[in-house]
């Protein structure tokens, strides 16, 4: 399973939140964070588009490490 993360680089532009509320929401500081961190295969293409669209490259999808 892959995990979605939003780094401290987020500037709160709102793009990811407005495009995919299933995965992103604003925190109390008006910055985005990943809501549903398990990336579903069917959503991956759309998520990758958002990853590329983030103006500061704050969103990453990474393979979850086996424990």
Give the residues lining the site for ligand SF4 (CB under 6 A). Answer: 6, 10-17, 32, 54-56, 58-59
Between 3 and 66, CB nearer to ligand SF4: 3
Phi, psi of 7 (to 5 degrees): -85, 175
Between 8 and 66, CB nearer to ligand SF4: 8
- Cα 57–chain centre separation: 10
Tokens encoding 5: 């993360």
Between 47 and 58, CB nearer to ligand SF4: 58
From residue 36, alpha-carbon distances to 8, 33 in Å are: 18, 9
Least separation in angstroms between CB 41 and ligand SF4: 22
């Amino acid at each position: 399973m892959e995990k979605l993360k939003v780094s401290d680089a987020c500037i709160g532009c709102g793009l990811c939140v407005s495009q995919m509320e299933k995965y992103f929401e604003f925190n109390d500081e008006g910055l985005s964070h990943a809501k549903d961190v398990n990336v579903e295969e069917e959503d991956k293409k759309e998520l990758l588009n958002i990853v590329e669209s983030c103006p500061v490259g704050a969103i990453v999808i990474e393979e979850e490490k086996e424990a």
